[in-house]
């Protein structure tokens, strides 16, 4: 049976990563969290004391770093130059600095090439901001997930609290609104819904409901291919 490519896009904290990972597990596919790749580069820049606004130096940095994914059905395991940075890249520090890195056209060109190489054989579930519009415009199944900013902020706050970090809910709301504005307004690979994507509002959906819905859509596409 042919393996398809599933592209899931949407704003931060809309439920993409958790849902994409579980859909991939059910299908026996490989899951690639493209946002984590940009987070890893942001972390590297901060560690190397490179300004996230320095377009050329960040581009040089991304050419040199090695980013790999580990297999884990419960969470995304990402290695930066052989080091597990899965938790480090999910902190407010990275949230606040990632936008200039993700908007850097030179960085995006390198990342898109890496992502296309990863997903060339099919049997992949990828999530991000421009997977269905730029990285895999010919993906057999495209999903656009969204949720209210208040719901997304609560999810992010709970995620941080589970890691022992206390953050102000209103500050999270402000950060998400800023991130949305940056993601949608950038000139290269902006966040937007592909014309043939299925839109899913996850505000009142559980993770299980989200997964069930996308899994059903995937099985339908697979049977048609």
Contact indicator for 11, 146 with CB cutoff of 8 Å: yes
Helix and strand numbers (H, E) in the chain are 8, 8
Mean pLDDT throughout 168-181? 93
* Distance in angstroms (rounded) separating the CA atoms of residues 17 and 22: 9
Q: How many of the other CB atoms lie within 10 Å of CB of 171? A: 12
* Distance in angstroms (rounded) separating the CA atoms of residues 66 and 50: 17
* Distance in angstroms (rounded) separating the CA atoms of residues 130 and 152: 19
H or E segment and range at residue 144: strand 141-146
pTM exceeds 0.85, yes or no: no
70-102 pLDDT tens trace: 866 667 789 999 999 999 998 989 989 999 998
* Distance in angstroms (rounded) separating the CA atoms of residues 108 and 34: 11
Q: Which domains does the chain have, with CATH numbers?
A: 5-213 (3.40.50.300)
pLDDT confidence of 165, banded at 50, 70, 90? confident
* Distance in angstroms (rounded) separating the CA atoms of residues 16 and 169: 21
40-63 pLDDT tens trace: 999 999 999 999 999 999 999 999
Please report the pLDDT score of residue 109 as a whole number: 92
> β-pairing, 83-84 with 124-128?
unpaired
Angle at CA of residue 175, ends 164 and 32, nearest 5°: 70
Cα-atom radius of gyration of the chain, to the nearest Å? 17
Nearest to 35 by CA among 102, 106, 81, 109: 102
102-156 pLDDT tens trace: 889 999 999 999 888 887 778 999 998 999 999 999 999 999 999 999 999 999 9
Percent of the chain with pLDDT over 90: 71
């Amino acid at each position: 049976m042919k393996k398809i490519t599933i592209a899931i896009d949407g704003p931060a904290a809309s439920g993409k990563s958790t849902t994409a990972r579980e859909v991939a597990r059910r299908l026996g596919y490989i899951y690639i969290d493209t946002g984590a790749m940009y987070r890893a580069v942001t972390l590297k820049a901060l560690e190397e004391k490179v300004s996230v606004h320095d377009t050329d130096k960040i581009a040089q940095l991304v050419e040199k770093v090695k980013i790999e994914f580990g297999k884990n059905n419960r969470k995304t395991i990402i290695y930066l130059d052989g080091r597990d940075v899965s938790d480090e890249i999910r902190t407010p520090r990275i949230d606040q600095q990632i936008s200039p890195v993700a908007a850097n056209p030179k960085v995006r060109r390198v990342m898109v090439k890496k992502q296309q190489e990863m997903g060339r054989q099919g049997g992949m579930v990828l999530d991000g901001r421009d997977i269905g519009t730029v990285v895999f415009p010919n993906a057999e199944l495209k999903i656009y997930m969204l949720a209210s900013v208040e719901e997304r902020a609560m999810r992010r706050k709970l995620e941080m609290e589970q890691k022992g970090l206390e953050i102000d809910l209103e500050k999270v709301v402000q950060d998400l609104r800023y991130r949305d504005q940056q993601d949608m307004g950038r000139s290269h690979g902006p966040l937007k819904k592909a014309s043939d994507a299925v839109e899913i509002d996850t505000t009142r959906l559980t993770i299980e409901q989200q997964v069930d819905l996308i899994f059903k859509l995937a099985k339908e596409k697979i049977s048609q291919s």
